[in-house]
Structures are given as C-alpha cells and as structure tokens.
Amino acid sequence: MRLARRNLTPKGRRFLVSGSLCLSASLILSIFDKDLGLQHAALYDALRGFLLGLAIVFNFAAMRLARNCPQNQP
C-alpha cells in the first residue's frame, strides 16, 4: 500500500509525522548508545524500545486513517 501524504487527513499526517519523529529519535539514541548509555544502559534500552513501539503504533494508525480516506483519482 502506497501511503501518499496528500491523501491523508490532517490527523493522519500528524500521526505519520509523530511516527517518523519517534523512529528517528530511537535511531539517534542507538547511534549514541556507546557514549550516553554507559551508566544507565537499561534506561536507554527501555527508552529506545518505547520510542520504537510508538513509531510502529503511529505509523499503523496513519495507515488505518489512509485506508478510510478516499483516494484522489485523476
């Protein structure tokens, strides 16, 4: 399923942006894990997992809203 942003409602766009932000924050935390996570490794693992889970939920919600939105056919 192709998910075009122009076919989404504003609520769906917000979910898509939130999912992308959570995914990028999770990936950034995994890149800087060596520097930041030495003292609190379990906390950073939990935060990364939480952000990754939120990204999955937000992206699925955007897909569900896109399915309910009518397609613009030329």
Condensed to tens digits (0 to 9), the pLDDT of residues 24-62 reads 999 998 887 776 656 777 888 899 999 999 999 999 988
Burial grade of 3 (CB within 10 A; 0-12, 13-18, 19 or more): middle
Residue 3 has pLDDT above 60, yes or no: no
Q: What is the DSSP string of 6-36?
A: GGS-HHHHHHHHHHHHHHHHHHHHHHTHHHH
**What counts of helices (H) and strands (E) characterise the chain?**
3, 0
Instruction: Please tell me the predicted confidence (pLDDT) of residue 32.
Output: 77
| Predicted pLDDT at 36 | 64
Confidence of residue 71 (pLDDT cuts 50, 70, 90): low
